Chain A
């Protein structure tokens, strides 16, 4: 069907589901068929689950499963499938394959005695997602008025630039941060791009877990600490704050300076005395792991200083069943 109709639909679905408590439960379990099954104990039925899109190497993985919030059970897949025998009624499942996939949650799946119910399970990979690097903006603060050339080589396709970018941005920069390009004055240079990234994993990455009501104070504290000016901080917080505050809890990790080359290479001439890049990766997180606290490095703002900030929302692994 038409793209915008579909986007519209998605938008509504998402906005509605975010009110729902069962937010984590994506529709990953797809009912295929049911058939009579013989030889089962009384009042018992069996589920047949088959993963539809596992990697070959994971087709006989040992998975962890919890039925109705019960104990974790370990089960060996055969050709990506397994069966689970249980009393008739409704049951819900959480299944963890390994950290290459997000944990999957089912709704209540009804089961009838002496029947076998087939479901296929969709998984979502934690690697290689297309993520938008949002709003990196670049400020230049020279010591005296000078011409500049800024070159960005994003690791993905440039989705949007402003002022329009053609091979580079060139213009005249002023100590107050004003950038003159073709007769217009800008406070910053702006670009966005789409890139392939992996999910965030709070168990492997140093960072912070922040609840919704603490977002603004958290960001203020961290940005003050690294040395954002008030106006840079307001640009950052008014962009990211509202998005993050919508989530009950988020995981946040920052990237500084050379680490940001993973998103884009940035070349400025003349070379600034201090070039500081500061990116934030974050995602809604409903796990309870306390990540290792991340150490941040304050900016040096002496001499000709260039600051770039940006960030990306990335799905975050909570995988509560993994050990």
Chain B
């Protein structure tokens, strides 16, 4: 009969908030194509004891940590906010027949979820499975473009060995086999197998650094200040103009694309976390300088970071890289 349990897997999708106007909306076309389903209708049942003006949604949350199965939850129905509590990872919400949209915020361990428009007939109970994304889970992000420059005092055969930590899908250029063996020249040219390079390059997917640390020092940078901010910091640290241009042409557009970003730098030993870098012969100075940025809704007050100053005497090796982090100071619901 109609109230028999019918196993459905009707899918609706992670709702894309229509944000008319703005770059974001335009950029979306491509992103839209890759949307992932977050709300699955898994069960519908007719409830003869409900009135004609009653319907019920049951949301069953997936990827919930066991400690959160009875957690308090903030949610909204059609933009009106409520508080509730999960029971065994579920919440039941009585409502009226018709179209409704929902938003859920559990706690800082999870991203907020938005339903699309969910439609329900009178006297029905619809059960949705809701896929949650944990913020602190091992969602790998790319550690972008560490490039390594070598500036020996005289023409030197150099062996550069890199041990990437917990990195997936690494990309190297030029090709890396156990190490890069090259002839480095004082002007920064790197000769490998008869070909000249200006830098050695690697990239890999790794854990999101800002999610793993306490971000108590950093910078809040407006998109329009991206270039002057980077020029200022890199000059202060001691990048050459060529290194600075390589850095800024890579990171500048990413920083400029956000209205506001939280920026934090890490340098030297801290960067061993991403990869150990061994250079033979040992340079007089090995400098590593990584940038971490995440888009934020509005400026945040941060303690500015005191940055190092590179000593560029003798044989110097410099590496720069970074990540676009998902780190967020908590907001919204």
List residues of chain A with CB under 8 Å of any chain B CB: 1-18, 20, 23, 26-27, 29-34, 90, 102, 107-110, 112, 117, 124, 129-131, 135, 137, 159-160, 162-164, 184-188, 190, 192, 194, 216, 229-231, 234, 237-238, 241-242, 245-246, 315
Given contacts A107-B9, A160-B252, contact A12 B133 (CB under 8 A): yes
Which B residues, 145 to 193, have Cβ-Cβ distances below 8 Å to chain A? 145, 147, 169, 171, 173-175
Q: Which residue in B111, B174, B252 is a CB contact (below 8 Å) of A9?
A: B111
Select the stretch in B31-39, B271-279, B304-312 that faces chain A. B31-39
Count chain B residues whose beta carbon lies closer than 8 angstroms to a beta carbon of A.
76
Q: Smallest Cβ distance from B202 to chain A, in angstroms?
A: 9
Q: Which residue in B36, B119, B297 is a CB contact (below 8 Å) of A17?
A: B36
30 inter-chain pairs at a CB distance below 8 angstroms, sorted by A residue, are A1-B114, A2-B332, A4-B295, A4-B328, A5-B111, A5-B112, A6-B16, A8-B111, A8-B326, A8-B328, A9-B111, A9-B114, A12-B111, A12-B133, A14-B34, A15-B140, A27-B11, A30-B116, A31-B11, A31-B41, A110-B8, A129-B30, A186-B241, A194-B23, A229-B196, A230-B197, A231-B197, A234-B199, A234-B201, A242-B142
Q: Is the CB of A3 within 8 A of B41?
A: no
How far, in angstroms, from A138 to B147 measured CA to CA in the complex? 20
Q: Is the CB of B169 within 8 A of A1?
A: no
Q: Is the CB of B195 within 8 A of A27?
A: no
Q: Is the CB of A241 within 8 A of B297?
A: no
How far, in angstroms, from A305 to B41 measured CA to CA in the complex? 61
Q: Is the CB of A190 within 8 A of B249?
A: yes
Say whether chain A's binding surface is mostly helix, strand, loop, or mixed. Answer: mixed
In the complex, chain A residues whose CB is within 8 Å of the CB of B67: none
Q: Is the CB of A192 within 8 A of B171?
A: no
In the complex, chain B residues whose CB is within 8 Å of the CB of A13: 14, 34-36, 38, 133
How far, in angstroms, from A159 to B27 measured CA to CA in the complex? 13
Q: Is the CB of B227 within 8 A of A315?
A: no
Q: Which residue in A5, A23, A31, A231 is a CB contact (below 8 Å) of B10?
A: A31
In the complex, chain B residues whose CB is within 8 Å of the CB of A107: 9, 11, 37
Asked if B84 lies at the interface with its beta carbon under 8 angstroms from chain A, I say no
Q: Is the CB of B30 within 8 A of A2?
A: no
Q: Is the CB of B12 within 8 A of A185?
A: no
Q: Is the CB of B242 within 8 A of A187?
A: yes
How far, in angstroms, from A129 to B28 measured CA to CA in the complex? 10
How far, in angstroms, from A241 to B16 measured CA to CA in the complex? 30
Q: Is the CB of B119 within 8 A of A31?
A: yes
In the complex, chain A residues whose CB is within 8 Å of the CB of B88: none
Given contacts A9-B14, A112-B6, contact A234 B173 (CB under 8 A): yes
Q: Smallest Cβ distance from A89 to chain B, in angstroms?
A: 11
How far, in angstroms, from A322 to B12 measured CA to CA in the complex? 27
Q: Taking A186-B245, A187-B245 as given, write out 18 further A-B residue pairs in contact, using a Cβ cutoff of 8 Å, ordered by the A residue number.
A: A2-B332, A3-B22, A9-B112, A15-B141, A26-B33, A30-B116, A31-B10, A102-B33, A110-B10, A124-B32, A124-B33, A130-B29, A160-B253, A164-B227, A186-B242, A187-B246, A194-B23, A315-B33
How far, in angstroms, from A16 to B205 measured CA to CA in the complex? 13
Q: Smallest Cβ distance from B192 to chain A, in angstroms?
A: 9
Which B residues, 220 to 260, have Cβ-Cβ distances below 8 Å to chain A? 227, 241-242, 245-246, 248-249, 252-253, 256-259
* Smallest CB gap from A313: residue in B: B30
Q: Is the CB of B32 within 8 A of A231?
A: no
Q: Smallest Cβ distance from B173 to chain A, in angstroms?
A: 5
Given contacts A9-B112, A13-B36, A15-B141, contact A190 B171 (CB under 8 A): no
Q: Smallest Cβ distance from B330 to chain A, in angstroms?
A: 10
How far, in angstroms, from A231 to B9 measured CA to CA in the complex? 53
Q: Smallest Cβ distance from B128 to chain A, in angstroms?
A: 11
Q: Is the CB of A26 within 8 A of B35?
A: yes
Q: Smallest Cβ distance from A58 to chain B, in angstroms?
A: 18
Q: Is the CB of A3 within 8 A of B13?
A: no
Asked if B198 lies at the interface with its beta carbon under 8 angstroms from chain A, I say yes
Asked if B331 lies at the interface with its beta carbon under 8 angstroms from chain A, I say yes
Q: Is the CB of A27 within 8 A of B197?
A: no
Q: Is the CB of A1 within 8 A of B103?
A: yes
Asked if B50 lies at the interface with its beta carbon under 8 angstroms from chain A, I say no
* Smallest CB gap from A35: residue in B: B121
Asked if B296 lies at the interface with its beta carbon under 8 angstroms from chain A, I say yes
How far, in angstroms, from A74 to B121 measured CA to CA in the complex? 33
Asked if B72 lies at the interface with its beta carbon under 8 angstroms from chain A, I say no
Kindly list the 3 A-B residue pairs having the minimum CB-CB distance in the complex, ordered from nearest.
A27-B13, A130-B26, A4-B295
In the complex, chain A residues whose CB is within 8 Å of the CB of B241: 184-186
* Smallest CB gap from B133: residue in A: A12
* Smallest CB gap from B19: residue in A: A3
How far, in angstroms, from A230 to B111 measured CA to CA in the complex? 44
Q: Smallest Cβ distance from B312 to chain A, in angstroms?
A: 15
In the complex, chain A residues whose CB is within 8 Å of the CB of B17: 1, 6
How far, in angstroms, from A13 to B12 measured CA to CA in the complex? 15
* Smallest CB gap from A178: residue in B: B242
Q: Is the CB of B140 within 8 A of A231?
A: no
Q: Smallest Cβ distance from B12 to chain A, in angstroms?
A: 6
Q: Smallest Cβ distance from B112 to chain A, in angstroms?
A: 6
Q: Is the CB of B13 within 8 A of A30?
A: yes
* Smallest CB gap from A124: residue in B: B33
How far, in angstroms, from A238 to B147 measured CA to CA in the complex? 9
Q: Which residue in B11, B174, B242, B252 is a CB contact (below 8 Å) of A234?
A: B174
Q: Is the CB of A5 within 8 A of B227?
A: no
Q: Which residue in A2, A5, A112, A124 is a CB contact (below 8 Å) of B29?
A: A124
Q: Is the CB of A27 within 8 A of B173?
A: no
* Smallest CB gap from B175: residue in A: A216
